[in-house]
């Protein structure tokens, strides 16, 4: 998938939003998201789906962390369970949609548990051996965060430092790696736990999970890997992630 410069910019101001205006997406906004979904599915073998009316998916759910209000549209992140590294791929490609929407001044939020999966199965097309892993909320938002959103942002303000993400490195770390790590620090993760580590040895970067995170650590890994790629790309490094002998390597 070709990297877009607006994704690189969008990662600097992307924040999770949980309160939406209730306004439907404009036709051009909806089409832009659908076009990206088509490209992602074609390249990855995943089965992401745009759902125009998600309002029923969150009725009756009032989990303290993840309540969603005023939402119309969402993306169902679906894939075949036989796809290698399914959840990591879903995180990687799903974050493309998040950053695309952010660049369009739309609000987004990764949602893993606080929605009605049974209800979602009525809207999403799930074939044999296909699984709904999570959803991405997408919609219009007010410029000002709600009181609840401000509170959540406050308790999730802390992020890991550079040395807490790049855990093992050669003596000299090139700028493309440094910028990749700085971008990875900005990546969202479940409960903002950032359970991801990186190493840089012999000019090869490795990304890996450092701890469990409520079953979403593999999704977190994929999200982080996209951010790393965006950062390294901004410094003129056009490498790619590869799955080699059970490891995620950027080379």
The tokens describing 125, both together, are 């097309």
Q: Which range of residues forms the domain containing residue 51?
A: 5-150
CB atoms within 10 A of CB 54: 25
Please indicate, yes or no, whether residues 182 and 241 belong to a single structural domain of this protein. Answer: yes
Lowest model confidence (mean pLDDT) among 28-42, 66-80, 111-125:
111-125
pLDDT (0 to 100) of residue 74: 93
CATH number at residue 97: 3.40.109.10
> Which helix (H) or strand (E) element contains residue 7?
helix 5-10
- Among residues 150, 177, 211, the one where a domain terminates is 150
Q: Place 63 in a pLDDT band, splitting at 50, 70 and 90.
A: very low
Q: Which pairs with CB-CB distance under 8 Å and at least 24 residues apart come from 5-10?
A: 6/99, 6/100, 6/103, 7/96, 7/99, 7/100, 7/103, 7/230, 8/183, 8/230, 8/231, 8/233, 8/234, 9/103, 10/99, 10/100, 10/102, 10/103
Rounded to a whole number of angstroms, the CA Rg of the chain reads: 18
Please indicate, yes or no, whether residues 56 and 96 belong to a single structural domain of this protein. Answer: yes
pLDDT (0 to 100) of residue 114: 61
The tokens describing 186, both together, are 């900005």
Please indicate, yes or no, whether residues 225 and 125 belong to a single structural domain of this protein. Answer: no
pLDDT (0 to 100) of residue 201: 94
pTM: 0.93
The tokens describing 128, both together, are 């044999």
Please indicate, yes or no, whether residues 41 and 100 belong to a single structural domain of this protein. Answer: yes
The tokens describing 40, both together, are 């992602």
235, exposed or middle or buried, with CB in 10 Å at 0-12, 13-18, 19+? middle
pLDDT (0 to 100) of residue 151: 47
Please indicate, yes or no, whether residues 162 and 145 belong to a single structural domain of this protein. Answer: no
Please indicate, yes or no, whether residues 18 and 47 belong to a single structural domain of this protein. Answer: yes
Q: Has residue 193 got a pLDDT over 80?
A: yes
Q: Place 26 in a pLDDT band, splitting at 50, 70 and 90.
A: very high
Q: Report yes or no: 68 and 115 within 8 Å, Cβ to Cβ.
A: yes
Q: Has residue 61 got a pLDDT over 90?
A: no
CATH number at residue 203: 3.40.109.30
Rounded Cα distance between 90 and 41, Å, is 10
């Amino acid at each position: 998938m070709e990297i877009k410069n607006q994704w690189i910019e969008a990662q600097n101001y992307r924040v999770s939003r949980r309160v939406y205006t209730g306004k439907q997406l404009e036709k051009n906004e909806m089409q832009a998201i659908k076009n990206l979904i088509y490209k992602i599915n074609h390249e990855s073998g995943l089965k992401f789906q745009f759902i125009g009316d998600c309002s029923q998916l969150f009725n009756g759910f009032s989990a303290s962390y993840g309540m969603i209000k005023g939402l119309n549209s969402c993306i169902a992140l679906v894939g075949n369970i036989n796809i290698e590294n399914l959840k990591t791929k879903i995180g990687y490609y799903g974050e493309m949609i998040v950053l695309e929407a952010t660049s369009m001044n739309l609000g987004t939020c990764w949602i893993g548990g606080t929605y009605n999966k049974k209800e979602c199965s009525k809207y999403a097309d799930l074939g044999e051996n296909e699984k709904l892993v999570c959803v991405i909320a997408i919609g219009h938002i007010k410029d000002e965060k709600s009181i609840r959103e401000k509170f959540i942002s406050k308790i999730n303000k802390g992020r890991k430092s550079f040395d807490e993400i790049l855990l093992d490195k050669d003596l000299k770390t090139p700028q493309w790696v440094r910028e990749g790590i700085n971008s990875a620090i900005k990546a969202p993760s479940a409960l903002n736990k950032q359970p991801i580590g990186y190493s840089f040895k012999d000019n090869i970067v490795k990304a890996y999970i450092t701890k469990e995170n409520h079953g979403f650590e593999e999704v977190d890994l994929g999200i982080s890997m996209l951010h790393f790629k965006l950062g390294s790309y901004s410094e003129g490094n056009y490498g790619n992630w590869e799955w080699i002998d059970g490891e995620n390597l950027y080379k």
